[in-house]
Amino acid sequence: MWRRLTSKPVRLAFAAMSLLVIWHTLAMAIASAPESMITTSARLLYHPYLTLFRLDNNWGFFAPTVELGGQFRYIVEDAAGQRHTFVPAEKLSRFLPTSIWFKDRYKDILEAIETHGQAAAAAFCLEHAALHPVAITFVELEQKDFSPADRLSGKHPLDPEFVDERTLEAIRCPAQ
């Protein structure tokens, strides 16, 4: 096709296309590359492009280490002082994207209880209004190592011996 590349406008278009593919290819590499003197300098130039188009991603899926999981629970304390434990993830369908969004939400609550706790507690109080809740307590089960031998002896990764339970402070329900 380049036999047709005789006119100046076509040559200019060819040069512009070449510059764009070089620019974008470098952007893809710089966005994912580990930090070094070269990439740090290049990032100064590429930052607007990478950020505006949301290209600034690294691709370390489940890497370098696979995080041990956990489970989010909450306890509803009712007016009579009784405590009801709920595991909200059990209600989620793994076939729907809501499952991932809600699990991310639960992680956010546990990681930043001071930021998200109040709003989350208010939502759970509303959801369980029939129990006449007075407070919500968030609980995190942090998973520990679980070996194939444990499984072969009939254990479950969330059995008490394989988790650390972390109870966060209770948050009072807002006045109805």
Partner 1 sequence: MPGPVTLAPVQATSAPARRATLAPLRQAWSRFWFQDWSRLWFQDKSTSPLEIARIGIGAALLLHYGLASPYLFTLWGDDGWMPRALLADDISDPWKQSVFFYFTAPWQWAAFHAFFLFCCAALMLGWRTSWVKWGVLVGNISYDYRNPSIAYGVHAILACLLLILCFAPIGRAMSLDRVREVWSAKRKNLEADPPAFSSPWAFACTRLMQIQMAVLFFFSATDKLRGDDWWSGDAIWKVFVSDDYYNGFLLDLLASQYWLVNVATYGTILIEIAYPFLIWQRRSRPYLLVAAIFLHLQFALLMNLYFFSFVMIMGHMSFVRREWLSALGAWWKRKIGDMEMIYDGTCGFCKRSMAWFLAFDGLRQIRIRDFRTNPSPVVSDEKMLKALYLVLPDGRALPGFEAYRYVVLRVPGLWWQVPFFYVPVFSRLFGHPIYNWIAANRSRL
Contact assessment for residue 87 and residue 161, using Cβ atoms and an 8 Å cutoff: no
* 80 lines the binding site for partner 1 (CB under 8 A): no
- Give, in order, the Cα–Cα distances in Å from 8 to each of 4, 14, 130, 154, 158: 11, 10, 77, 75, 70
**Angular region, 54: left φ>0, alpha ψ -120 to 50, beta rest:** left
For partner 1, the closer of residues 104 and 169 by Cβ is 104
Q: How far is the CB of 80 from partner 1 (least distance, A)?
A: 31
* 174 lines the binding site for partner 1 (CB under 8 A): no
Q: Which two tokens stand for residue 85?
A: 């434990």
Measured between alpha carbons, how far is 44 from 46 in angstroms, rounded to an integer?
A: 6
* Beta carbons within 10 angstroms of residue 86's beta carbon: 17
Q: How far is the CB of 43 from partner 1 (least distance, A)?
A: 12
Amino acid at position 151, single letter = R
Query: What 3-state DSSP class applies to 74?
Result: strand
Number of residues lying near partner 1 (CB under 8 A):
61
Question: Mask: binding to partner 1, 128-167, rule CB under 8 A, as x and -?
Answer: -------------x-x--x-xx-xx----xx---------
Part in contact with partner 1 (CB under 8 A); list of ranges 36-44, 47-55, 125-133, 168-176: 47-55
Measured between alpha carbons, how far is 148 from 157 in angstroms, rounded to an integer?
A: 10
* 45 lines the binding site for partner 1 (CB under 8 A): no
Binding site for partner 1 (CB under 8 A): 1-2, 5, 14, 17-18, 20-21, 24-25, 28-29, 32-33, 47-48, 51-55, 57-71, 89, 94-101, 103-105, 108, 115-116, 119, 141, 143, 146, 148-149, 151-152, 157-158
